[in-house]
A and B are shown apart, each in its own frame.
Chain A
Amino acid sequence: MRRIAVQAGDFDVAAELAALEALGGGGVASFTGIVRGDGGLIALELEHYPAMTQAQIGRIVDAAMTRWPLLGVHVIHRVGRLEPGARIVFVGTASRHRTAALESCAFLIDWLKADAPFWKKEHFADGASHWVAARAEDDSKARGWGG
């Protein structure tokens, strides 16, 4: 009922959703994050803290499962070099109720952005590259869930 994966390869959204649908709840919600090709971006490079990432995502999932009555949670985060249009992250939740599925999905992606050990570096067509700066807005969005 919980699946957490940190991987270089792509994932199959339909298969993830089907697994969540099979849990017998009345509702499944999901979020898929995609690399945007803004401003001549040719690739995103995602670095993470391998010894910590899985456990830290587990703590975020624990918090969601404590707060909402969830039948299942799937979190998949890719690492390595990703080009525009590539999927980066998937969060899927299954519950007997739509509010729990939708709210927990939003909670999970907000906390993944603010509190999981990933760092993005942007590479541009002109050869420039730089580390993405964290946005205070992402942090306050996560904290906005309270408790």
Chain B
Amino acid sequence: MLTVVYFAWVREAVGCDEEQVDRPAAGASVADLVTMLATRGGGYADAFADASRLRAAIDQRFVPLDTAIGDAREVALFPPVTGG
């Protein structure tokens, strides 16, 4: 299993801040995970239909969405950051 965490409006759209999902096939990228999550419909479709609105981190490091998940423990999906 893979831990997926959500923040900001992504978290609100999917209705939870963390969940376990089946580990994607070998070689799958974060973008592939996003595509898979979008097929769940409902809030997931709202959050994940347009990957250009999303940013990601793998094991607490920012990564481009085309990065392979590999043997990561945690993937985070969120909008562009707005701190400071």
A interface vs B, CB < 8 Å? 33, 46-49, 51-52, 55-56, 77, 88-89, 109, 112-121, 131-134, 138-139
How far apart sit A52 and B80, CA to CA, in the bound complex (Å)?
15
Residues of chain B lying within 8 A (CB to CB) of residue A89: 83-84
How far apart sit A31 and B67, CA to CA, in the bound complex (Å)?
35
Q: From A139, which residue of chain B is reached at the shortest CB distance?
A: B80
Q: How many residues of B contact A (CB 8 A)?
A: 18
How far apart sit A47 and B11, CA to CA, in the bound complex (Å)?
11
> Any chain A CB within 8 A of the CB of B57?
yes
Q: Flag if B82 contacts A133 (CB, 8 Å).
A: yes
Q: What does the 1/0 interface line of B51-70 toward A look like (CB < 8 Å)?
A: 00000010011100000000
Q: Flag if B8 contacts A47 (CB, 8 Å).
A: yes
Shortest Cβ distance from residue B78 to the other chain A in the assembled complex, whole angstroms: 7
